[in-house]
Amino acid sequence: MGRLGEEVETFVRFDDKNLWISMATIIFNPLFWNVVARLEYRHHIVSSLFGGPRKGCVFLALTIVGLGFFRDWWFKVACDSQPEWPFLYDNNFLFLGYSCILIGSMLVFSSYWALGFYGTFLGDYFGILMDSKVTDFPFNVIDNPMYWGSTLIFGGTAIVKASQAGLLLACLVGVIYKIALLFEGPFTRDIYRQSNKTV
């Protein structure tokens, strides 16, 4: 217990403000798009402001992408401002890190390809519904591939940067996405159930 405590204290600096800002952006992003999307579904606020559901969805998509870049930037800043973890200096870990980034990127981009723009960026909350459930790759391999692919990218980046703090943040990404799915999944299924479509 003592040795483990010393190791965490050595390689994760909890007095680093960049670590906390990165955590805040990781928590904020899914919270933001879930709240805004539900407000849109119930009250059509975004589509009213931007002149229709498609324009509103484009605005939300641009906001999500912008917030994503902001979160990713703070993640890298946090990793760089933290001590490196010598345990991860081994070339096998470097290979593992780049493999995680590659596999994660493949999952994210193939998800976008399969879902299309509106399917990716919560179009169903704007009334832009899919005709049927997407079962093509990567959805035939793993549920919610975009979220888990993104988590893999964070984890792989942390390994490449030899950052124990980065691994902690990557775990937080996975936990936050898992929590978000507890709300998103049932709500999205309810949208399609009410529209008499099955997705």
Q: Quick: pLDDT tens for 67-91.
A: 999 999 999 999 999 999 999 999 9
Look at residue 199 and tell me if it is in a domain: no
Look at residue 115 and tell me if it is in a domain: yes
Look at residue 121 and tell me if it is in a domain: yes
pLDDT for position 196: 72
Confidence grade of residue 46 (pLDDT, cut at 50, 70, 90): very high
- Residue 9, pLDDT above cutoff 80: no
**Nearest alpha carbon to residue 27 among 171, 188, 196, 135:** 171
Say if CB 114 and CB 138 are below 8 A apart: yes
Place of tokens 């995680």: 100
CA distance 84 to 101: 19
Enter the tokens of residue 99: 């493999």
- Residue 170, pLDDT above cutoff 60: yes
Q: What's the Cα-to-Cα distance from 146 to each of 1, 101, 142, 187, rounded to whole Å?
A: 36, 13, 10, 18
Q: Assign 112 to helix, strand or coil.
A: helix
Look at residue 57 and tell me if it is in a domain: yes
Look at residue 82 and tell me if it is in a domain: yes
How many Å is the maximal CA-CA distance in the chain?
60
- The percent of residues in the chain predicted with pLDDT above 70, rounded, is 93
Look at residue 84 and tell me if it is in a domain: yes
- The percent of residues in the chain predicted with pLDDT above 90, rounded, is 83
In terms of residue numbers, what domain contains 7? 2-194
Confidence grade of residue 148 (pLDDT, cut at 50, 70, 90): very high
CA distance 60 to 66: 10
pLDDT for position 48: 96
Look at residue 45 and tell me if it is in a domain: yes
pLDDT for position 198: 52
Confidence grade of residue 185 (pLDDT, cut at 50, 70, 90): confident
- Residue 3, pLDDT above cutoff 50: no
Enter the tokens of residue 112: 């976008």
Place of tokens 């975004």: 46
Which secondary-structure segment (H or E) carries 128? none
Domains identified in the chain, total number: 1
Supply the DSSP symbol for 192: H
Mean pLDDT along residues 137-143: 93
Look at residue 99 and tell me if it is in a domain: yes
Enter the tokens of residue 15: 């007095």
